[in-house]
Amino acid sequence: MPIWEHVGHALADRQSPVRVAKLDCTRYAGTASALNIRGYPTIIFFRHGKELVYEGERKKEAMVDFALKASGPVIGLIEDVRELSQPFFVFVEGKPEKTHTSELIDSYHDIAEKLFSSIRFYQAKRDAFPKAVSLPDNPAVLVFKDNDYLTYTNEGDDFTAESLNDWIYNERWPLIPLITSTNIKEVGRMRMLVLAVVNMIDRRNGTTQIGKFFSVVTDAAQTVRKDTYLSSYFQFGWLDGSEIANNIAMGTINQP
């Protein structure tokens, strides 16, 4: 059974409204041309008449995750942020006397329209957050990831749509994401990449050389995140094996 059929069954099991179909581009060449299909396989999600081309991994889990996000609301409403899986962004209202939110929420919505198929965006009232989360008086955007959170505040004249856009593009990745051939360009879009060449199994085993190395890399990534200057320049990531690293270096890179 091809992967796309597995995806269809998985979505049906989740009672998703998404329906999966295939197009024979040889038989229906006119349709393929109208959709601007130039390579195979091409995966397109249709939402309200708009096309979203999927460029992620050709694995069932990744494709199901994309379909679920792409079929959901651009900005969801939530009552308790502790119910959600990280990472995600959330817009929070200001205190009653801080009612000027239109510019921030409009910019937030514009960015969510571009990225909602890859990461979750929400809106919530102040009482949706636990007391451990320190909320500013002004309206703000928070990102929750790696069991922590960061805050972007609307500081009146200091706010620009571009600064919010850059902040969200920078902060949408976890501390050390898995880097693949399909996401390396996006992860490195805003910052320079620091890549650890390890493997899926040994990186979690602290008794192996690779596990010890990955622990050191994690500590370094956490140190960089705490430094505002360094974190604006560097994004860490890890590679499952040496293939991508070999292609970048045009040589042989050993693990770790």
Q: Which of 153, 146, 186, 194 is nearest to 170 (CA)?
A: 186
Task: Tell me: do 51 and 82 sit in the same domain.
Answer: no
Task: Tell me: do 52 and 90 sit in the same domain.
Answer: no
What pLDDT sits at residue 117? 85
What pLDDT sits at residue 101? 61
What pLDDT sits at residue 168? 92
The alpha carbon of 99 is separated from its chain's Cα centroid by a whole number of angstroms, namely 30
Backbone angles phi, psi at 192, to 5 degrees: -75, 140
The alpha carbon of 31 is separated from its chain's Cα centroid by a whole number of angstroms, namely 31
* CATH code for the domain in which residue 99 is found: 3.40.30.10
Task: Tell me: do 103 and 37 sit in the same domain.
Answer: no
Task: Tell me: do 106 and 159 sit in the same domain.
Answer: yes
What pLDDT sits at residue 99? 56
**Tokens encoding 7:** 């995806």
What pLDDT sits at residue 62? 87
3-class secondary structure, 113: helix
Residue whose tokens read 């604006």? 232
Task: Tell me: do 134 and 207 sit in the same domain.
Answer: no
What pLDDT sits at residue 58? 83
What pLDDT sits at residue 245? 92
What pLDDT sits at residue 173? 92
What pLDDT sits at residue 105? 87
What pLDDT sits at residue 68? 87
Point out the domain boundary residue: 122, 150, 171: 171
pLDDT top residue among 43 and 155: 43
Residue whose tokens read 């249709």? 46
pLDDT band at 228 (very low <50, low <70, confident <90, very high): confident
How do residues 101-148 score in pLDDT, each as one tens digit?
678 888 999 999 989 888 899 998 888 888 888 888 888 899 999 888
Going from the C-alpha of 171 to that of each of 68, 117, 126, 151, the distances in angstroms are 22, 16, 22, 10
How many domains is the chain partitioned into structurally? 3
Point out the domain boundary residue: 140, 171, 202: 171
Range of the domain at 46: 3-57
Task: Tell me: do 245 and 214 sit in the same domain.
Answer: yes
What pLDDT sits at residue 193? 94
pLDDT top residue among 99 and 233: 233
What is the 8-class DSSP label of residue 157?
Answer: G
Q: Is 32 left (phi over 0), alpha (psi -120 to 50) or beta?
A: alpha
Asked if the structure places residue 17 within a domain, the reply is yes
Q: Over 60: is that where the pLDDT of 156 sits?
A: no
Asked if the structure places residue 68 within a domain, the reply is no
Asked if the structure places residue 208 within a domain, the reply is yes
Please name every residue paired with 77 in a beta bridge, in sequence order, or none if there are none: 123
Task: Tell me: do 134 and 204 sit in the same domain.
Answer: no
Task: Tell me: do 148 and 219 sit in the same domain.
Answer: no
How do residues 42-94 score in pLDDT, each as one tens digit?
888 888 888 888 888 888 888 898 888 888 888 988 888 777 777 899 999 87
Asked if the structure places residue 235 within a domain, the reply is yes
pLDDT band at 100 (very low <50, low <70, confident <90, very high): low
Task: Tell me: do 165 and 232 sit in the same domain.
Answer: no
Point out the domain boundary residue: 150, 171, 192: 171
pLDDT top residue among 253 and 221: 221
Task: Tell me: do 53 and 103 sit in the same domain.
Answer: no
How do residues 164-214 score in pLDDT, each as one tens digit?
998 999 899 999 999 998 889 989 988 999 999 999 889 989 889 999 999
Element (H, E) at 156: none
Asked if the structure places residue 197 within a domain, the reply is yes
